[in-house]
């Protein structure tokens, strides 16, 4: 199937919300990690989301130019071709973009998709993220309101992060403290500024103790039950049941109980990066250790081309990451839910 159309993406999100499941959103940095994500979704018979962060886009743009827009655009165009060979629907998303990178990343990509839509085509990406968590909520929502209008005009969903997620992600970092919890007042101010769909669809990355990076279960105090408070607080004010489509950031190390609670309270998208990075790299390391005298030209020998050929370890890496994506689908209950 091709990359999801705006209509299909909206249907995906609606079905996830109604069915209390979520789509894994897998960060990719190459055509190979893209294929690993697509393969994982296909093997799980789950639709899914593939996303590119600012750092990932810069890496994709090449180390000579390091251009985020060309990197993201190139992989998206590649995905539009190769995704047709996988029997699932895939949405393309750009991850965390702080204020100082908007003009070099999200705004040009929004303009590119608007040109495509005006020409009768679908947008290049299905959603973009504005990470204003380092700004005051007032300034954050002012930018979000502007971007939501641009996104809606390009038939794109906007993701907004209104309060901090702990840890570090592509240079944006926050301390792990009691500020990592969104309040009902924060959510009400968000609804007042962005509406509840009438100004354009958006996904909300609310904070309930989330932390980016690597941590073991129990090291971070997650409160996914807080999402229910946000839904009920805003729902009561506006007379709308479960008004938000939530995103779960910083999910590495979460318990299955925490994930299940988040799903029941409206999470439709959960980001995975740390775990899939490790799943991709681990088989490469294993291959190198097992074949050290083949991947290296030791003591004047010539090595073994068959084992230092990138295809030999690349296939293992793809399989390892695909397996982790399949597990994520099971954890988030999206296995077997594809619209195909």
Catalytic residues: 95
Residues 6+ apart with CB under 8 A from 19: 333, 337
Residues 6+ apart with CB under 8 A from 8: 89, 339
Distance between CA 211 and CA 221 in Å, rounded? 9
Distance between CA 32 and CA 207 in Å, rounded? 32
Q: What are phi and psi of 56, to 5 degrees?
A: -65, -40
Are the C-beta atoms of 125 and 92 separated by less than 8 Å?
A: yes
Token output for 2: 């091709």
Are the C-beta atoms of 339 and 8 separated by less than 8 Å?
A: yes
* Residue 93, SS3 per DSSP: strand
CA 86, 61, 161, 167 dihedral sign is: positive
CA 81, 82, 87, 89 dihedral sign is: negative
Q: What burial letters (b/e) apply to 207-239, b meaning 16+ CB within 10 Å?
A: bbbbbbbebeeeebebbbebbebbbebbbeeee
**Which strand (E) or helix (H) includes residue 191?**
helix 184-194
Q: What are phi and psi of 171, to 5 degrees?
A: 90, -10
Are the C-beta atoms of 268 and 246 separated by less than 8 Å?
A: yes
Residues 6+ apart with CB under 8 A from 185: none
Are the C-beta atoms of 234 and 184 separated by less than 8 Å?
A: yes
Place of tokens 């619209």: 339
Are the C-beta atoms of 106 and 52 separated by less than 8 Å?
A: no
Neighbours of 18 (CB within 10 A): 10
């Amino acid at each position: 199937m091709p990359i999801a159309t705006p209509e299909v993406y909206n249907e995906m999100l609606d079905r996830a919300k109604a069915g209390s499941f979520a789509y894994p959103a897998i960060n990719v940095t190459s055509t190979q990690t893209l294929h690993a994500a697509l393969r994982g979704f296909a093997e799980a018979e789950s639709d899914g989301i593939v996303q590119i962060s600012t750092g990932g886009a810069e890496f994709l743009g090449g180390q000579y130019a390091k251009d985020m827009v060309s990197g993201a655009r190139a992989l998206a165009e590649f995905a539009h071709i190769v995704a047709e060979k996988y029997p699932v629907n895939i949405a393309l998303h750009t991850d965390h973009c702080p204020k100082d990178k908007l003009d070099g990343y999200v705004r040009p990509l929004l303009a590119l998709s608007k040109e495509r839509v005006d020409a009768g085509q679908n947008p290049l990406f299905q959603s973009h993220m504005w990470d204003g968590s380092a700004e005051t909520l007032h300034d954050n929502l002012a930018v979000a309101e502007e971007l939501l209008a641009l996104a809606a005009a390009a038939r794109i969903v906007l993701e907004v992060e209104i309060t901090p997620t702990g840890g570090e992600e592509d240079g944006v970092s926050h301390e792990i403290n009691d500020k990592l919890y969104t309040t009902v007042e924060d959510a009400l101010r968000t609804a007042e500024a962005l509406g509840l769909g009438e100004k354009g669809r958006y996904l909300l990355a609310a904070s309930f103790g989330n932390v980016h990076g690597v941590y073991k279960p129990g090291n971070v105090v997650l409160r996914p039950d807080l999402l229910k408070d946000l839904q009920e607080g805003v729902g009561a004010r506006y007379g709308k049941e479960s008004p938000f489509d939530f995103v779960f950031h910083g999910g590495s190390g979460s318990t299955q109980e925490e994930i299940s609670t988040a799903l029941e309270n409206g999470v439709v998208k959960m980001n995975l990066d740390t775990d899939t990075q490790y799943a991709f790299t681990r088989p490469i390391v294993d291959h190198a250790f097992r074949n050290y005298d083949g991947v290296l030209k030791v003591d004047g020998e010539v090595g073994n081309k068959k084992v230092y050929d990138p295809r030999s370890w690349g296939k293992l890496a793809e399989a390892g990451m695909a397996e982790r994506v399949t597990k994520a689908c099971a954890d988030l209950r999206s296995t077997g839910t594809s619209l195909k």
